[in-house]
């Protein structure tokens, strides 16, 4: 069974640039999560979906971050006008109805 | 405030020894997961528990929802056990998991 895949693995931007991250969850997993993990900290939930519906996006900085999962499968997280404080690893996870989460390898973002 | 308090924040073990990591919860949690984050940053699933105790090789985990804590025991530590260990606890809605700040484990030859 293929795991959660993410791309790109690395991204380096100047402040003010935009970037998109892509996640392909494990087949059959209805729930998909995006986390932000700053260096030397634990993952912090940004948003999660059940199928195509957003369940909780209260921690998503809505003025610059957006996330979609239009068909209830793949998902895209986008940052408009990146800031240095956005430097972190962005992790995608998915879970089946039994709720155990499985993580992808992450995208390591550096904003200069 | 933080719903999940993880301790210790750092730990050094000599090969062959063991120790316990702990997570305390400030609200009622319904399930807990333990992960190891390796040097490449990948989060590896260790355990998922809704109650009781599970064991896998040299690792054992317990979750006590009533007393609001979970533990991860490592015995006969090996060099490859080095990394950061996170617990993540699920609230009453089950699908929102809160992470602790992690325990950085170094196994010394």
CATH numbers and ranges of domains, chain B: 4-108 (2.60.40.10)
**Is residue B94 over pLDDT 60?**
no
- Give the mean model confidence (pLDDT) for residues B76-80: 96
Q: Which of B72, B68, B43 is nearest to B56 (CA)?
A: B72
Q: Which of A21, A45, A31 is nearest to A94 (CA)?
A: A31
**Is residue A1 over pLDDT 70?**
no
Interface of A with B in 68-87 (CB under 8 A): none
In CATH, what number is assigned to the domain containing residue A84? 2.60.40.10
Domain hosting A25: range is 5-111
Cα–Cα distances (Å) from B31 to A71, A77, B3, in that order, read 29, 27, 13
Number of domains in chain A: 1
Chain segment A65-100, per-residue pLDDT in tens:
999 999 889 999 999 999 999 999 999 999 987 678
Chain segment A28-69, per-residue pLDDT in tens:
999 999 999 999 899 999 999 999 999 888 889 878 999 999
Task: Tell how far CA B64 is from the center of its chain.
Answer: 13
CB contacts, 8 Å: B83 with chain A: none
Chain segment B61-70, per-residue pLDDT in tens:
999 999 999 9
Residue A103 contacts B where some CB pair is shorter than 8 Å: yes
CB contacts, 8 Å: B42 with chain A: 103, 105-106
Distance CA B98, CA B48 (A): 14
Distance CA A66, CA A50 (A): 16
**Is residue A3 over pLDDT 90?**
yes
């Amino acid at each position: 069974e293929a795991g959660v895949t993410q791309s790109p693995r690395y991204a380096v931007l100047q402040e003010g640039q935009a970037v998109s991250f892509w996640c392909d969850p494990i087949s059959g997993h209805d729930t998909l999560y995006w986390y932000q993990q700053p260096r030397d900290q634990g993952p912090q939930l940004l948003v999660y979906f059940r199928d195509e519906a957003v369940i909780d996006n209260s921690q998503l900085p809505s003025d610059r971050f957006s996330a979609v999962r239009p068909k209830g499968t793949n998902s895209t997280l986008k940052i408009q006008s990146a800031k240095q404080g956005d430097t972190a690893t962005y992790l995608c996870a998915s879970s089946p109805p039994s709720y155990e989460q499985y993580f992808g390898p992450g995208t390591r973002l550096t904003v200069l | 405030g933080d719903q999940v308090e993880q301790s210790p924040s750092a730990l050094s073990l000599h090969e062959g020894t063991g120790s316990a990591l702990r997570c305390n919860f400030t609200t009622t949690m319904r399930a807990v997961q333990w992960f190891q984050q390796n040097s490449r940053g990948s989060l590896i699933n260790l355990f998922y528990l809704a109650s009781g105790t599970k064991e896998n090789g040299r690792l054992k985990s317990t979750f006590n929802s009533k007393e609001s804590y979970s533990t991860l025991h490592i015995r006969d530590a090996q060099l490859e056990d080095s990394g950061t260990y996170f617990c993540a606890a699920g609230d009453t809605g089950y699908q929102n998991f809160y992470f602790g700040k992690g325990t950085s484990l170094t196994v010394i030859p």
